[in-house]
C-alpha cells in the first residue's frame, strides 16, 4: 500500500484463518476486514504462512496488510506464542521451523487419539490416519475427529482428555525462535501475555527475560486483558525498554468467542515502526 493510513483507523494484528484453526478463508476474512473498517491487519495462523502469503495477492490498495504467523515455543515447560511479522516468507530456516512445529502438532494429535482408544473411549482409530474435516469448522484434527465420533461434545470435554493423558506439546525455546525470525528479516512479539496465567499480568521478571531473548515487542492490547490498566502495564514496559507495541483480537472466526477487531484499537495506539506510512 502506498497511501498514508489515517491515525484513527482500526488495527488487528492477530487473526486466524482456515489454514490453522480459524473458520474463515482469506476471501471471507478480507470481506469482514472491509466491513469493519479495519485498515491495518495481519493473518497470524499457527505455525503456517499458507493463507498469510495468499492474502498478499488479493489485498486492495486502500488497506495495509502485513504478512504474519503465530509461532509456538516452549517457555518454562509451557506453550507460549510469538507473533512474527514482515519476514521473508521464503526463508529456509523459518520454513523449517514452521514444518517442525507442524510435525510436533501432528504427532501430538495422534497421541491424543491413541490415548482415547487406550482408555476405551473409542474402539477403532484406523480411520483417523486418513481423516479429513471441513476446515470452515475451525479447530484441529484430533478435536474434530472426536467431535465427529461423538466422543466429546465440546472443547471442555476435549481438554479433560488432554489433561488426563498427561500429553504435552514441546517446541523450541523462545531465544532460538526469535533469532530465526530476526534472521529472516522479521519482527517478533510476545503474543497475548495475559493469556498464560488466567488473565493475570506477567511479572516484570518474566518480561525482562523475554526482552533479553531479543523480542521486538509485546501484544499489549488483547482480549485476555482483565482491564485497560493491564494494557497500560505492558505499554509502560515497552516504552521504558524501547520495544514495539501491537494489538490483536486473536479471532478465529466462529470457532471461539473472540471478535474481529476487539479490543478496538486505533493505529495511533500501536508502535510497529517497521510498517511504513503510518
Q: What is the mean pLDDT of each run of 10 residues along the chain (278 residues)?
A: 62 98 97 97 98 98 96 97 99 99 96 92 89 87 93 93 93 99 99 94 98 99 92 98 98 92 95 82
- The backbone torsions φ and ψ at residue 80, rounded to the nearest 5 degrees and listed phi first, read -120, 160
- Cα angle, residue 81 at apex, residues 102 and 46 outer, rounded to 5°: 35
- Rounded CA gap, 118 and 121, in Å? 8
Phi-psi region of 242 (alpha: psi -120 to 50; beta: other; left: phi over 0): left
Burial classification of residue 195, based on how many CB atoms lie within 10 Å of its CB (0-12 exposed, 13-18 middle, 19 or more buried): middle
Residue range 161-196, pLDDT digits in tens: 999 999 999 999 999 999 999 999 999 999 999 999
SS3 state at 47 = coil
Q: Cell digits for 185?
A: 528479516
* pLDDT at site 1: 41
β-bridge pairing 217-221 and 187-190: parallel
Strands 38-43, 78-85: pairing is: unpaired
Domains of the chain: residue spans and CATH: 10-90+173-269 (3.20.20.140), 98-165 (no CATH)
Phi, psi dihedrals of residue 8, rounded to the nearest 5°: -95, 5
Structure confidence at residue 93 (pLDDT): 99
- What is the reported pLDDT for 37? 94
Tens digit of pLDDT for each residue in 85-102?
Answer: 999 999 999 999 999 999
* Largest interatomic CA distance in the chain: 60
Q: Contact at 8 Å (CB) between 11 and 37? A: no
Q: Tell me the pLDDT of the chain averaged across its residues.
A: 94
> Percent of the chain having pLDDT more than 90?
85
pTM, to two decimals: 0.93
Using only C-alpha atoms, the chain has a radius of gyration, in whole angstroms, of 19
Amino acid at each position: 500500500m502506498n497511501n498514508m493510513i489515517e491515525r484513527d483507523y482500526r488495527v488487528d494484528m492477530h487473526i486466524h484463518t482456515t489454514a490453522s484453526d480459524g473458520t474463515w478463508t482469506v476471501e471471507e476474512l478480507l470481506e469482514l476486514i472491509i466491513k469493519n473498517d479495519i485498515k491495518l491487519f495481519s493473518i497470524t495462523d499457527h505455525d503456517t504462512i499458507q493463507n498469510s502469503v495468499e492474502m498478499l495477492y488479493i489485498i486492495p490498495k486502500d488497506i495495509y496488510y502485513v504478512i504474519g504467523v503465530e509461532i509456538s515455543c516452549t517457555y518454562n515447560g509451557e506453550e507460549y506464542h510469538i507473533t512474527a511479522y514482515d519476514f521473508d516468507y521464503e526463508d529456509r530456516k523459518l520454513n523449517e521451523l514452521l514444518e517442525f512445529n507442524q510435525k510436533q502438532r501432528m504427532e501430538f494429535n495422534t497421541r491424543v487419539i491413541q490415548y482415547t482408544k487406550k482408555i476405551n473411549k473409542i474402539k477403532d482409530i484406523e480411520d483417523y490416519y486418513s481423516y479429513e474435516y471441513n476446515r470452515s469448522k475451525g479447530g484441529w484434527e484430533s478435536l474434530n475427529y472426536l467431535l465427529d465420533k461423538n466422543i466429546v461434545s465440546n472443547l471442555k470435554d476435549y481438554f479433560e482428555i488432554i489433561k488426563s493423558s498427561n500429553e504435552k506439546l514441546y517446541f523450541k525455546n523462545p531465544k532460538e525462535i526469535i533469532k530465526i525470525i530476526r534472521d529472516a528479516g522479521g519482527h517478533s512479539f510476545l503474543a497475548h501475555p495475559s493469556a498464560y496465567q488466567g488473565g493475570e499480568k506477567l511479572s516484570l521478571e518474566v518480561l525482562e527475560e523475554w526482552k533479553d531473548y531479543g523480542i521486538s515487542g509485546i501484544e499489549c492490547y488483547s482480549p485476555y486483558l482483565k482491564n485497560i490498566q493491564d494494557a497500560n502495564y505492558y505499554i509502560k514496559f515497552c516504552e521504558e525498554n524501547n520495544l514495539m507495541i501491537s494489538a490483536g483480537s486473536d479471532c478465529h472466526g466462529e470457532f471461539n468467542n473472540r471478535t474481529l477487531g476487539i479490543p478496538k484499537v486505533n493505529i495511533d495506539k500501536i508502535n510497529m515502526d517497521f510498517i511504513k506510512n503510518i
